[in-house]
Amino acid sequence: MGKFELFQSGYYGFKGSYTILNTLVTLFIDSKRLSSNMTLPLKPLEYLGEVLVPETAVRLIAQDRNITLVEAAEVMRDTIAFGMYVHDMEDDDISNLEDYINRIE
């Protein structure tokens, strides 16, 4: 599994995950608000991808559909395949994402 596959966001797909990740990087890593000490045992980027991207997606889905966070988490899990199909990344997008991840690590 590639690093970009960790950043799941349900029906938002890979493109939505990338948008969320990019925003979180700007808010927390570029601004130095999130340090390695705060995310141990994960690296800051791993923390964003494995914790904050899915959490952000759940909250956006809950807001989109006016449902609870528990319901939104279920919707997110149930719509991953849909999101990957409809909002998939092209090969160029994947290369750009991998370059981006390598640059900020």
37-61 pLDDT, tens digit each: 999 999 998 899 889 999 999 999 9
Q: Which of 67, 52, 63, 69 is nearest to 17 (CA)?
A: 52
Residues in contact with 42: Cβ distance below 8 Å, sequence separation at least 6, in sequence order: 50, 51
Range of weakest confidence among 18-22, 41-45, 85-89? 85-89
What's the pLDDT score for residue 39?
94
Does 80 or 96 have the greater pLDDT score? 80
CA distance 46 to 3: 9
pLDDT of residue 6: 46
Q: Read off the pTM.
A: 0.76
